[in-house]
Structure 1
Amino acid sequence: MGGIVDKTAGVFIKLFVFQWDFALFLLNLVTPDRKEGQVVPIGCPGHNLSWPEYVPPKEGDSRSACPMLNAMANHGILPHDGKNITFVELNHKIRQTFNFAPTFCFFVPKFAADFLNRSYWKDKFDLEEISKHNAIEHDASLTRQDAALVPDQAKPDLKLVHDLLAEATGKMADGSARLTIPDLSRALAKRRVDARKTNTNYSESFFHNVFGSSNSSTMLTLFGGSINDLTPMLTEERFSEHWEPRVRSRFGLTMAKFNMTVLPVERGVDTKKIEKEQAEAAGATN
């Protein structure tokens, strides 16, 4: 009986969150954006483009497969040891740091609490627990080798990161390199093809593919695809100097708005094209 009640409550919570999110999406259309330099609220780390000191993780610190969560711990926005974090605290800190909408900031930590069988309202977690395989963490990540090959997901694979950054074909206003939606789609396609070849335990589903595109799309929304900003984030899990979220919407990045980037990224993933290119390249060398 309790399980049925919990599932019913979960459905109502999701419906409420999605309706709330769409309302915030509409409000963002008719309210002024936050001013540059003022995206992070007054009194919060990162306000006025000033981030706390970066301190790399030491032995015994807990880190996850998510570069942005790790960066928050490395800068002391979350506990530096990455341990005993409440889901409610994570909600608030993500909201302040990245200007995600409150709906987004509730939905993702709540999802994490659920797959860890914890109470969102009362319990705590360590960052490494977020890396539970095939929950948020998934095969064919753009910054990590698959868990079957490298069980410890705390550190980025620098070759994968540099391969990703090398896909950039766009330009920022200052002429520096920028990742675009097609670049990200191509990088994801390559990773899925390569992961299938190298990981005999490789698993893939529509949910994980969309989640992979969602994780990757933060590079385009929050970072504007800027290679200058993404390089320290993905290699050292550090905020670049004077960085702030590119999303300046008054009520933050909603799930509705975010999906306008996620869905084109996922639709553009063409693994068959990559497989054909690799076969042709292999034939040319034989």
Structure 2
Amino acid sequence: MKSFSALAFLSFVSVAVAFSEPAGHHYQAPGPNDERSPCPGLNALANHGYLPRNGKNMTVPQVLNACLEGFNFDWAPLLIPAKQGLLTSTDKSSETMMSLEPLVLHNLIEHDASLSRSDYQNGTGDALHFNATIYSVMANSNPGSDYYNLTSTARVMYERLQYSIATNPTLINTMNEVTGRAATAALALTSMGNATTGVAPKKFVDILFREERLPFLEGWKPSPVLVTGELLGPPHRRARRRVELDREPALRAYRPRPREWSISRACERDACSCDDWQAAVQASVMA
């Protein structure tokens, strides 16, 4: 009887150890003065302390190192998006820092027809915070299976696009947005599941989106292999191709990107030379 009790205890301990959060990276919900972005992945990294928990004043290397440590994502495929984040900074004293909340700047990294956020709609929509109703399209996809894959997620992307076409008169849906949505889907599936096939357990993906938490306690681990651009490429292309199988509705919904899209809203600076500041940051992005 004693040996059985000891065995049961050891089994419990082994499970508890196997499904624990890494030291120094426990989940902590954001406080009232902390910032979060439209990206559940970045928010989860901040909630676990891979990024500053307040979501403020981060450098590009900090963001890239957080993605490497938290998800085992290589720097290379994320370098340009990370540098683009500098364009959202409202701190005229620094050209090398960014914070999470300004990443909601429309159509830089944030985009319409998101899997989990409302469309911007000229500022009337909440493109920053998680929307459970919108995410229900994803949550109800691939019925009868306990996983999401590229096929099911592409159908969700298409359904979300059709909804935006019908309800958002300011929808922007160029090939840049198609590419961005495919990249978002590929990153979500490869970070939570198999980085080669793009198959991910529903419970892991749902926790990431709904709670902005890394599901360590449920048995998730970062990819055992470094997720490089070469590894991300096939899932990204497959997700994009599946969405483009019916191109006509997307093309009918095409609206050219406004000329003022790039940084006009983020560049409300009093005495500084906005043109000089923007040129410097854009040069940094292209570096």
TM-score, normalisation: structure 1: 0.69
Local SS of the residue matching 2:243 = coil
Distance, in Å, in 2 between the alignment partners of 1:243 and 1:233 is 11
Aligned with 1:136 (options 84, 93, 109): 109
Question: Cα distance, 1:111 vs. partner?
Answer: 3.1
Stretch moving more, 252-261 or 147-156: 147-156
Distance, in Å, in 2 between the alignment partners of 1:135 and 1:114 is 8
Q: Does residue 1:211 correspond to 2:180, yes or no?
A: yes
Structure-2 change in CA distance of 1:138 and 1:273 (3 Å): closer
The residue type paired with residue 243 of structure 1 is W
Local SS of the residue matching 1:202 = coil
Distance, in Å, in 2 between the alignment partners of 1:75 and 1:49 is 13
The residue type paired with residue 202 of structure 2 is I
The residue type paired with residue 267 of structure 1 is R
Distance, in Å, in 1 between the alignment partners of 2:144 and 2:80 is 32
Per-residue deviation, residues 96-147 of structure 1 (Å, max 9, x unmatched): 111111312433312323565999x961111012221111100000110101
Structure-2 change in CA distance of 1:194 and 1:274 (3 Å): farther
Q: Does residue 1:182 correspond to 2:182, yes or no?
A: no
Identical pairs, percent: 25
Instruction: Please give the residue correspondences for 1:85-124 in structure 2 after superposition, counting only pairs within 5 Å.
Output: 85-113=58-86, 123-124=96-97
Question: Cα distance, 1:82 vs. partner?
Answer: 0.7
Local SS of the residue matching 1:187 = helix
Unaligned 5+ runs, structure 1: 1-46, 172-176, 276-286
Give the equivalent residue in structure 2 for 1:50: 21
Query: Are the aligned partners of 1:185 and 1:270 in contact in 2 as well (CA < 8 Å)?
Result: no
The residue type paired with residue 235 of structure 2 is T
Give the equivalent residue in structure 2 for 1:243: 220
Query: Are the aligned partners of 1:104 and 1:254 in contact in 2 as well (CA < 8 Å)?
Result: yes
Local SS of the residue matching 1:129 = helix
Query: Are the aligned partners of 1:229 and 1:243 in contact in 2 as well (CA < 8 Å)?
Result: yes
Per-residue deviation, residues 24-68 of structure 1 (Å, max 9, x unmatched): xxxxxxxxxxxxxxxxxxxxxxx9962433222222221111001
Structure-2 change in CA distance of 1:201 and 1:105 (3 Å): closer
Query: Are the aligned partners of 2:27 and 2:48 in contact in 1 as well (CA < 8 Å)?
Result: yes
Distance, in Å, in 1 between the alignment partners of 2:56 and 2:186 is 27
Distance, in Å, in 1 between the alignment partners of 2:79 and 2:246 is 37
Q: Does residue 1:163 correspond to 2:137, yes or no?
A: yes
Give the equivalent residue in structure 1 for 2:8: none
Distance, in Å, in 1 between the alignment partners of 2:52 and 2:243 is 36
Q: How many residues align?
A: 220
TM-score, normalisation: structure 2: 0.69
The residue type paired with residue 105 of structure 2 is K
Query: Are the aligned partners of 2:119 and 2:126 in contact in 1 as well (CA < 8 Å)?
Result: no
Distance, in Å, in 2 between the alignment partners of 1:181 and 1:130 is 26
Query: Are the aligned partners of 2:117 and 2:126 in contact in 1 as well (CA < 8 Å)?
Result: no
Distance, in Å, in 1 between the alignment partners of 2:246 and 2:235 is 22
Stretch moving more, 69-78 or 152-161: 152-161
Unaligned 5+ runs, structure 2: 1-17, 194-199, 250-287
Structure-2 change in CA distance of 1:117 and 1:60 (3 Å): closer
Larger radius of gyration: 2
Structure-2 change in CA distance of 1:87 and 1:270 (3 Å): closer
Give the equivalent residue in structure 2 for 1:201: 170
The residue type paired with residue 75 of structure 1 is H
Question: Cα distance, 1:154 vs. partner?
Answer: 3.1
Structure-2 change in CA distance of 1:273 and 1:110 (3 Å): closer
Query: Are the aligned partners of 1:214 and 1:262 in contact in 2 as well (CA < 8 Å)?
Result: yes
Query: Are the aligned partners of 1:190 and 1:274 in contact in 2 as well (CA < 8 Å)?
Result: no
Distance, in Å, in 2 between the alignment partners of 1:131 and 1:199 is 18
Query: Are the aligned partners of 1:185 and 1:265 in contact in 2 as well (CA < 8 Å)?
Result: yes
Structure-2 change in CA distance of 1:150 and 1:217 (3 Å): farther
Please provide the CA RMSD for this pair: 2.8
Query: Are the aligned partners of 1:74 and 1:237 in contact in 2 as well (CA < 8 Å)?
Result: yes
Give the equivalent residue in structure 2 for 1:17: none
